[in-house]
Structure 1
Amino acid sequence: MMLHHLLGRMLTAFVTLIGVAIVIFCLLRIVPGDPVAMMISPSATPADIAALRARYGLDLGLFQQFVIWFKAVTAGDFGTSISLRRDVVELIGERLPATLELAFTALVFGVLAGGTIAVIATLLRRTPLEAVFEFLNGLFLAVPDFVWALALVLVLGVAFPVLPLSGRLDPASAPAFVTPFYLLESLVRLDFATFSDLVAHMVMPVLALGLPLAAIVARILKESLLEAMGQDYVLLARLKGMSPLRLVLQEALRNAVGPTLTLTGVQFTFMIGGTVIIERIFAYPGLGNMAIDAVINRDLPLIQGIVLIFGALFILINIATDALAVLLDPRQAHG
């Protein structure tokens, strides 16, 4: 049943990805603006313009362009960037790891912070401090990630300049990396100086992305914990003399984590999309920052490649979330 469920999800994901490819391909050619005009000199002749359009296949019909592009994509060829004159796959391969490290770090922070807040709020239920937690959690829910980013820049970057404002690593001390996963590689190599520098550059982006997620996790997990605390098996454990903290962590948490896991997976996809703005604010050299440059330059091959990669990431995360939810509760495979 588990395998059947996953195969069904993968088939749906494949169809969805094809739909994303069709939509983004058509939209980019409907919106105003000529990518050739962004890269050619004002003194270019009509023959030069025609030759450049032919080079990128822009002189063909829309359907013919899509067929040629889709065949190339299925073979792993996303084309050549118009603005950067480089292979799109190489560009994405250089920038995607930075975005993944940022997003996964923010996810870990959001889950740990939100889970801790939920447990503390559950222990403090029916006390005056519970209202304080609810107020702060509502405040964090109401503030979007880019507002947190701007506030962190003003406080920790300008008023009290304790953290770097931009970039991924100090260029003056950047060592030679073997892989594009700088954070993981520096930790494996026990290069704690580089690791600390990477973490310092990530603190503000991670906080901006992770604080709204922490608020969502805290609210959903707390509601699930309170519901679990009213179950018979928890009441029986309380009668046996188990402490409130053990009741929450040992008895209630394992049965309350299911809904929170599903919601976290959905929110993680939104978080990856949110890296576009956050990376721009902090000049973080990730895929989202490059996506904005690609849109400004009307770089069709690069935009198409980035959107497809984002779409594939969203789909994979949803499939992984569904698989974990089914493992925790096999009954969901029948739903």
Structure 2
Amino acid sequence: MIASVLAKRAVMAIVTLFGVAVVVFLLLRVAPGDPVAMMIGAGASAADIADLRARYGLDQPLLVQFGIWLAGVVRGDFGVSISLRRDVLELLAERLPATLELAGLACTVAVLVGGAVAVAGTLLRRRTGEAVLDGVNGLLLAVPDFVWALAFVLLLGVLWPVLPLSGRMDPAVSGPFVTRFYLTESVLTGRFALAGDLIAHMTMPVLALALPLAAVIARILKDGLSEAMVQDYVLLARVKGMSELRLVVGEALRNAVGPTLALTGVQFTFLIGGTVIVERIFAYPGIGSMAIDAVINRDLPLIQGLVLVFGALFILVNLAVDLAVVGLNPRLRHG
């Protein structure tokens, strides 16, 4: 049964990615502006422009351009960046790990903070503490991530400069890496001083991304816990003398976490896309910052590669979340 579901999801993933490829290809071609005109010198002749357009295949009909690009993608060739003059797949492989580590750490912080707030709000229900937590949660929910980023720059980078303002690490303490997952590799290899420097550079962007997501998680999980707390199995456990904390964490949480997990998976993919502005503010070298430059320069191959990567990540994360929800819910697992 699981194999059948995975096969259907794989087919749907291929269809979805093909649809994404068609849409982004057509939208970029009908958008105003000529990428060749933006990268060539002012004194270039018509022959030079025609030669450059032919080099990137922009002189072909749209259908031919799409067929050439799609055939390359199937082979793992995403083309060459017009602005950076480098292989698109190579650029994505360099920048994507930085964004994944940033988004993964932000999601972890959001889950921990949002889960703690939801549990605390459930324990303090019908008390003053619950109203205070709901008010703080509403504030976190109302302020977008880039506003938090600017606030942290002003507070922790300028007025009280305790954290680095930009970059991924201090060049003075950098060391050789086997992979592009610098934080993960530093922790696994025991280079904790380097890991500490990486975390210091990531703290402000992580908090900026995590706080709004933590507010969403807290609200959804608290609603789920409130519904679970009035179920018969919780009432029976209370009659048996279980403490309120054990009722919430040990009994209600298991049944309330499903919708929250599904929401977190969807929000994680949006979090990766949301790093665009935050990475720009902190000059963080991820794909978000690169995406802004690609749009400004109308770098068609790079934009197409970025959108396909975002689409693939969205599909993979949602598939993983669906499997996790099934694994946590016995009724779905045996249904």
Q: TM-score range by the shorter chain?
A: over 0.9
SS where residue 44 of structure 1 aligns? coil
In 2: Cα distance, 1:16 partner to 1:240 partner: 51
Which residue in the other structure is 1:310 paired with?
310
The aligned counterpart of 2:169 is: 169
Q: Is residue 193 of structure 2 the alignment partner of residue 193 of structure 1? A: yes
Structure 1 letter corresponding to 2:116: T
Equivalent position SS for 1:298: coil
State the alpha-carbon separation in 1 of the partners of residues 20 and 207 from structure 2: 30
The amino acid across from 1:124 in the alignment is L
Aligned pairs for 1:320-335 (under 5 A) are 320-329=320-329, 331=331
**TM-score of the superposition, structure 2-length normalised?**
0.97
Q: Distance in 2 between matches of 1:145 and 1:47?
A: 47
Is the Cα–Cα contact under 8 Å of residues 113 and 214 in structure 2 kept in the other structure? yes
SS in 1 for 2:267: helix
Q: Does 1:149 align with 2:149?
A: yes
Residues 95 and 285 in structure 1, CA contact (< 8 A), matched pair in contact too: yes
Residues of 1 paired with 2:293 and 2:91: CA distance? Answer: 13
| CA-CA distance at 1:303 after TM superposition | 0.8
Question: Would you say the 8 A contact 1:122–1:225 is kept in 2?
Answer: yes
Which amino acid is 1:64 matched to?
V
**AA matched with 1:88:** V
Q: Report Cα offsets for 1:119-169 as digits up to 9, x if no partner.
A: 111111111111101111111111111111111111111111111111000
Q: Match of 2:130, SS?
A: helix
Which letter does structure 1 place at the counterpart of 2:20? V
User: Residues 333 and 29 from structure 1, CA distance in 2 versus in 1: closer, same or farther, beyond 3 angstroms?
Assistant: farther
Q: Which amino acid aligns with 1:175?
A: G
Q: Distance in 1 between matches of 2:254 and 2:333?
A: 19
Computed over aligned residues only, the root mean square deviation of the Cα atoms, in angstroms, reads: 1.4
Fraction of identical pairs, as percent: 69
* Inter-partner Cα distance in structure 2 for 1:332 and 1:12: 21
Q: Which runs of 4+ in 1 moved over 6 A?
A: none
Cα displacement string for residues 60-100 of structure 1 (whole angstroms, at most 9, x for unaligned residues): 00000000110010000001111111111111000000000
Residue 248 (structure 1) aligned with residue 248 (structure 2): yes
- Cα distance 1:71–1:330, how it changes in 2: closer, same or farther (>3 A)? farther
Q: Partners of 1:333 and 1:192 in 2: how far apart?
A: 40
Q: Is the 8 A contact 1:164 1:201 kept in 2?
A: yes
Structure 2 match to 1:207: 207
Give unmatched runs, 5+ long, in structure 2: none
Q: Is the 8 A contact 1:2 1:326 kept in 2?
A: no
Match for 1:196: what amino acid? Answer: G
Asked whether the equivalents of residues 2 and 333 of structure 1 are also in contact (C-alpha less than 8 Å), the reply is: no
Aligned to 2:105: 105
Q: Is the 8 A contact 2:291 2:306 kept in 1?
A: yes
Contact 2:276 2:289 in 1 (8 A): yes
Structure 2 equivalent of residue 57 of structure 1: 57
Matched residue count: 335
Match of 1:288 in 2: 288
- Residue type matched to 2:305 in 1? G
Q: How many angstroms apart in 2 are the aligned matches of 1:334 and 1:78?
A: 42
Q: Report how far residue 319 of structure 1 moved.
A: 1.2
Q: CA deviation at 1:20?
A: 0.5
Q: Does 1:115 find its partner at 2:115?
A: yes
The aligned residue for residue 132 of structure 2 is: 132
